[in-house]
């Protein structure tokens, strides 16, 4: 099948298409009309979605596109089920674009898998196998699974996942290109890997549960970011912690009123079994802290409150470290990924009070009440060391779109992998 040729023009479309049209078609392809030589990434994405609606598979860039313009097109074009080929411009860094594409497609395809295909163990296994394939001599992995989690003290992951017949797991992956087993860990990445979220006994509506296969988007995002950084030449020791479980209802599932005692001694009353992401991330953040990592980044599809605050075009960012947060947002701006800061103060730790434990895992009101995303981040901050310095939390509001938008295809987006990779390498 021949390629569909797409080119850029700074001339207006012909009168037949309408003088204000941003897109026209020619034999064998299409032309995107930009007013000048600026990037105009959103306009490119909007035109891309119109081309994508035609069902064309093989795309070839023709003429003078820069790398970011091609990337904007591809991120908007390649939705769930895309099986075509992309041919990059000859005047661009084809290797870098191909590397980005491989990481994006891995991330998206992992999130888009059905929950039946992707159990907690298979999520951890697929993530570890992909990273190891990129640098086998520098990667070691360990998995703590099922009842072993209790013995190791990882009570959050165990409690959330014990209602499923498919066991929960904590994956620890060590990428150490230094050759020194005592080398400092520069970064630790922590990902929420809830392969399906029914809400537990705080059960979701059918509509709210429909796309909960995407609730492992944090695990996919940090894995995709690490893989991208490795392919781009990462030289720093980095650890990856994936907190994987299915949140299901059974006679063995955790319940409202239960109290979890974490490894650091913090006690947590369960007031909402649908606020499970923060419970598994707490274990991952403690493991990351124990690794001695200089910096920790966690990513999770954590709260609906973040979506309400920033919409589905941005990820929300939280940190108690102003310098690290500013650096992270600078990386996001550099790679054109939309992230936005939301408030986090130390007093957010105390916004989910419990009369029976140090804290509850949420507020016992619909949606967790006002400031829910900040309160969730405050909960997480109890489980990182150094008073939160060197830690950034990403609430992945922009991780997934069921039906697509005017700029994004259906399914997973992988927004965040380039920003995190830039932090790892920078």
pLDDT tens, position by position, 290-315: 999 999 999 999 999 999 999 999 99
Classify burial at 208, counting beta carbons within 10 Å of its beta carbon; exposed 0-12, middle 13-18, buried 19 or more.
middle
Q: Please tell me the predicted confidence (pLDDT) of residue 54.
A: 93
Give 358-405 as a 3 state SS string.
CEECCCCCHHHCCCHHHHHHHHHHCCCCHHHCCEEEEECCCCEECCCC
Taking Cα atoms as reference points, which of 281, 283, 288, 240 lies closest to residue 130?
A: 240
> Among 32-36, 105-109, 163-167, which stretch is predicted with the lowest mean pLDDT?
32-36
pLDDT tens digits, residue range 209-265?
999 999 999 999 999 999 999 999 999 999 999 999 999 999 999 999 999 999 999
d(CA 328, CA 262): 29
Catalytic residue among 132, 204, 263, 312: 204
Predicted local confidence at residue 351, as pLDDT: 97
Structure tokens at 241: 């912690």
pLDDT exceeds cutoff 90 at 178: yes
Q: What is the mean pLDDT of residues 24-39?
A: 93
Query: 19: buried, middle or exposed (CB in 10 Å: 19+, 13-18, 0-12)?
Result: exposed
Report DSSP state, residue 95.
Answer: H
Sign, Cα dihedral of 29, 35, 38, 40: negative
Q: How far apart are CA 277 and CA 265, in angstroms?
A: 19
Residue 19 has pLDDT above 90, yes or no: no
Q: What is the dihedral of CA 240, 245, 247, 252, to 10 degrees?
A: -140
Tell me: pLDDT of 92 over 80.
Answer: no
Looking at the chain, the whole-number percentage of residues with pLDDT higher than 90 is 94
**What does the pLDDT read at residue 39?**
86
Hey, what are 369's tokens?
């009440």
β-bridge mates for residue 141, sequence order: 173
For 181, counting Cβ atoms within 10 Å of its Cβ (0-12 exposed, 13-18 middle, 19+ buried), the class is exposed
- Residues 399-412, mean pLDDT to the nearest whole number: 96
Q: Give yes or no for a contact between 57 and 85, defined as CB atoms under 8 angstroms apart.
A: yes
Q: Average model confidence (pLDDT) for the chain? A: 97
pLDDT band at 1 (very low <50, low <70, confident <90, very high): low
- CA atoms of 193 and 164, how far apart (whole Å): 14
Residue 204 known to be catalytic: yes
255 phi and psi angles, rounded to 5 deg: -130, 160
Q: Catalytic residue, from 166, 278, 295, 382: name it.
A: 278
pLDDT digits (tens, 9 = 90+) for 35-73: 888 889 999 999 999 999 999 999 999 999 999 999 999
Q: Which residue has the tokens 């030589």?
A: 37
Task: Return d(Cα 177, Cα 159) in angstroms, integer.
Answer: 35
Please check the confidence at residue 368 and state whether its pLDDT lies above 90. Answer: no
Separation CA 249–CA 255 (nearest Å): 9
Cα distance between residue 182 and residue 171, in whole Å? 20
Query: Could you tell me what percent of the chain has a pLDDT over 70?
Result: 100
pLDDT at position 90 is 86
Fold of 113-425: Aminopeptidase (3.40.630)
- Nearest of 146, 172, 144, 166 to residue 158 by alpha carbon: 146
Residue 342 predicted with pLDDT over 70: yes
Sequence-ordered list of residues with C-beta below 8 angstroms from that of 5, at least 6 positions apart, any chain: 28, 29, 30, 60, 62
Q: CATH 3.40.630.10 spans which residues of the chain?
A: 113-425
């Amino acid at each position: 099948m021949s390629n569909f040729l797409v080119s850029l023009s700074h001339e207006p479309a012909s009168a037949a298409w309408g003088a204000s049209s941003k897109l026209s078609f020619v034999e064998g392809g299409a032309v995107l009309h930009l007013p000048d030589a600026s990037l105009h990434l959103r306009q490119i994405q909007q035109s891309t979605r119109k081309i994508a609606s035609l069902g064309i598979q093989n795309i070839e860039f023709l003429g003078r596109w820069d790398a970011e313009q091609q990337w904007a097109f591809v991120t908007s074009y390649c939705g769930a089920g895309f099986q075509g080929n992309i041919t990059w411009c000859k005047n661009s860094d084809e290797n870098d674009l191909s590397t980005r594409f491989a990481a994006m497609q891995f991330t998206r395809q992992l999130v888009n898998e059905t929950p039946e295909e992707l159990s907690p163990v298979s999520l951890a296994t697929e993530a570890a196998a992909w990273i190891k394939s990129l640098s086998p001599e520098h990667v070691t992995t360990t998995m703590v699974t099922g009842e072993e989690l209790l013995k190791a003290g990882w009570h959050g992951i165990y409690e959330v996942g014990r209602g499923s017949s498919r066991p929960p797991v904590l994956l620890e992956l060590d990428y150490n290109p230094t050759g020194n087993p005592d080398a400092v860990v520069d970064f630790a990445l922590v990902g929420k890997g809830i392969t399906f979220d029914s809400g537990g006994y705080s059960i979701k509506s059918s509509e709210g549960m429909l796309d909960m296969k995407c609730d492992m988007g944090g695990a996919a995002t940090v894995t995709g970011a690490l893989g991208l950084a490795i392919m781009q030449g990462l030289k720093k020791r980095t650890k990856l912690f994936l907190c994987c479980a299915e949140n299901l209802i059974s006679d063995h599932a955790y319940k409202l009123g239960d109290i979890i005692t974490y490894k650091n001694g913090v006690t947590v009353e369960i007031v909402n079994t649908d606020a499970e992401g923060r419970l598994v991330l707490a274990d991952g953040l403690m493991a990351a802290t124990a690794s001695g990592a200089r910096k920790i980044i966690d990513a999770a599809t954590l709260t609906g409150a973040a979506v309400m605050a920033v919409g589905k075009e941005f990820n929300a960012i939280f940190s108690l470290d102003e310098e690290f947060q500013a650096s992270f947002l600078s990386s996001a701006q550099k790679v054109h990924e939309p992230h936005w800061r939301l408030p986090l103060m130390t007093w957010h730790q105390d916004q989910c009070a419990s009369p029976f434990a140090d804290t509850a895992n949420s507020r016992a009101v619909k949606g967790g009440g006002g400031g829910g995303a900040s309160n969730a981040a405050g909960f997480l901050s109890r489980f990182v060391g150094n008073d939160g310095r060197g830690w950034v939390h990403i609430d992945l509001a922009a991780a997934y779109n069921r039906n697509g938008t005017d700029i994004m295809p259906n399914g997973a987006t992988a927004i965040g992998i380039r920003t995190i990779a830039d932090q790892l390498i920078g």
